[in-house]
């Protein structure tokens, strides 16, 4: 991770350009764009990548994982329809960037990471920033029984199916965004799952993406 927390005018300028680019790529939710404008993405990357932090690209963050591409973060966040004060559960803390974007929108963020080294590395960075994110080392398939129910759930790894326990922990009327493995086995389809008041699920598809896999149980792999 970048050890300097400096956020200078150059970083802010680059961030504004990124926001303009995301607009041209179809992100229209002003609350999402303003959160992207607020969160210093370069702080979540290894220092050698600082110059590249504001390109619309995914990057390695160690432990074989990646920080999602800004467009993917913005796209998932826009689909999530977050409002101030909502309780949001994220599966796959990774660098912590997506969690901070949600916190910048006024959400109360709970985020689970299964990869031990990454969990500790990211926890340290988040403690130095002002975004309110609670992180947990655990298996996202299990959710967080003590903090449920959630208004929103966002999964940031490719999932083979809709995790049943997470549906149980979603409020009626709540929304889950999940990149679901496609039948071809070469990527994911972005799915928005709405839990209707009668408990049934409404599913909508929003195009193809590529994520690292959602794995089971805590590990160091």
* Contact indicator for 90, 68 with CB cutoff of 8 Å: no
Q: How far is the CB of 124 from ligand SAH (least distance, A)?
A: 15
Q: Which of 4, 34, 63, 68 is catalytic?
A: 68
Distance of CA 5 to the CA centre of its chain: 21
Q: In angstroms, give the least distance from the CB of 134 to ligand SAH.
A: 14
CB nearer ligand SAH, residue 145 or residue 173: 145
Closer Cβ to ligand SAH, 56 or 173, answer by number: 56
Closer CB to ligand SAH, 3 or 173, in the complex: 3
Binding site for ligand SAH (CB under 6 A): 65-68, 91-92, 94-95, 97-98, 112-115, 118, 139-141, 156-157, 212, 214-216
Angle subtended at Cα 83 by Cα 77 and Cα 85, rounded to the nearest 5 degrees? 120
Say if residues 199 and 193 touch (Cβ distance below 8 Å).
no
- Closest approach, Cβ 154 to ligand SAH, in A, equals 8
Of 117, 110, 158, 113, which is closest to residue 134 (Cα–Cα)? 110
Instruction: Examine the residue annotation and report whether 68 is marked as an active-site residue of this protein.
Output: yes
Omega before 90 cis (within 30°)?
no
Catalytic residues: 68
């Amino acid at each position: 991770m970048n050890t300097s927390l400096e956020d200078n005018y150059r970083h802010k300028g680059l961030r504004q350009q990124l926001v303009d680019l995301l607009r041209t790529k179809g992100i229209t939710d002003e609350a999402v764009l303003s959160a992207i404008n607020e969160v210093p993405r370069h702080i979540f990357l290894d220092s050698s990548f600082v110059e590249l932090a504001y390109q619309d690209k995914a990057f390695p963050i160690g432990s074989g994982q990646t920080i999602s591409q800004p467009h993917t973060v913005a796209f998932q966040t826009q689909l999530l329809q977050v409002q101030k004060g909502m309780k949001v559960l994220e599966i796959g803390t990774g660098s912590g960037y997506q969690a901070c974007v949600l916190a910048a929108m006024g959400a109360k963020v709970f985020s689970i990471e299964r990869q031990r080294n990454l969990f500790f590395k990211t926890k340290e960075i988040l403690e130095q920033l002002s975004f309110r994110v609670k992180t947990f080392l655990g298996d996202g398939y299990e959710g967080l029984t003590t903090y449920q129910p959630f208004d929103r759930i966002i999964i940031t790894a490719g999932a083979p199916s809709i995790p049943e326990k997470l549906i149980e922990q979603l409020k009626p009327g709540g929304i889950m965004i999940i990149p679901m493995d496609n039948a071809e086995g070469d990527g994911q389809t972005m799915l928005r799952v709405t839990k209707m008041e009668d408990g049934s699920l409404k599913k909508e598809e929003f195009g193809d993406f590529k994520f690292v896999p959602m794995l089971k149980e805590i590990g160091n792999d």
